[in-house]
Amino acid sequence: MHDPGPIPKALVRHKPLVGSYSLLNQYLNCPHAAFHKHIAKTYPYVETEAVKEGNDIHLAMENRLRIKQPLPPKYAQWEPFAAPFDAYGDSGSNAVAVELKVGIDKHGKPCEFFAQNVWFRGKIDATIIRNGTAYLVDWKSGGSRYEDPFELEIGAVLLQAKFNAIKIVGQYAWLAENRLGQLYDLSDTNKTFAKMKHLMEEIERDRARDWFEKRKSGLCGWCNCTHCENHFVARPK
């Protein structure tokens, strides 16, 4: 992809920063790529085949849980992941929320997803709230080789802010492998919020000095930052 050239730094520096799991995860992998993808938004969004498949899966699971629409035949094998949600209602102390959008301010208090004071936002694939306890699941269409609970932990912070849940557990559903991942206790939301805040402060620091580290990894060959010296074209056959 053609490098569009330098970014107006003053514009980027003063634009309000809203956090997300995608931003933090990319920043941990490579701050430079995080800047171009999530802050400057240098490159236009491209829906690859893998991304489209993931979106189709999420929509199918959303329709199955929200309006009880049967899963399409090619996804029918995942009905056992959806069926347990049918035992819970959609109001009161027993509630199911699907594709739940949650925003929080810099103090961790709930706010509207697109509020002026939103500091961090995220979407939770599916969750059950029952008498102060929350269970959340994240649908994954890829492989589980590098399972990391950080995305679930962030989801727990958002859930705690919105529902004031005391006990929160969650797991990934690795659909391609037709199995659920490890069940994590996500109740220590204070610890996770502190980690989120620390990373957001690092990003703000990097923005203030107009410098984001270029961190070399095995992902460089798939990165849009073709101007970076760590980018390489050769890919495994």
The pLDDT, as a whole number, for residue 161 is 95
61-119 pLDDT tens trace: 999 999 999 999 999 999 999 999 998 865 445 689 999 999 999 999 999 999 999 99
Indicate the pLDDT class of residue 215, thresholds 50, 70 and 90.
confident
Q: What is the largest CA-CA distance in the chain?
A: 55
d(CA 134, CA 17): 29
Burial class (CB in 10 A: 0-12, 13-18, 19+), 30: buried
The pLDDT, as a whole number, for residue 76 is 97
Determine how β-strand 133-140 pairs with β-strand 167-174.
parallel
Out of 131-135, 145-149, 164-168, 222-226, pick the least confident.
222-226
Indicate the pLDDT class of residue 220, thresholds 50, 70 and 90.
confident
Q: Is the pLDDT of residue 218 over 70?
A: yes
d(CA 138, CA 78): 13
The pLDDT, as a whole number, for residue 1 is 40
- Between 225 and 92, the more confident residue is 225
Residue 169 · residue 156 · CB < 8 Å: no
Beta bridge partners, 61, equal none
Q: Average pLDDT, whole number, for the chain?
A: 88
Q: Is the pLDDT of residue 19 over 60?
A: yes
Beta bridge partners, 25, equal none
User: Would you say the C-alpha torsion 8, 12, 15, 18 has a positive or negative sign?
Assistant: positive
The pLDDT, as a whole number, for residue 145 is 87
Q: Is the pLDDT of residue 3 over 70?
A: no
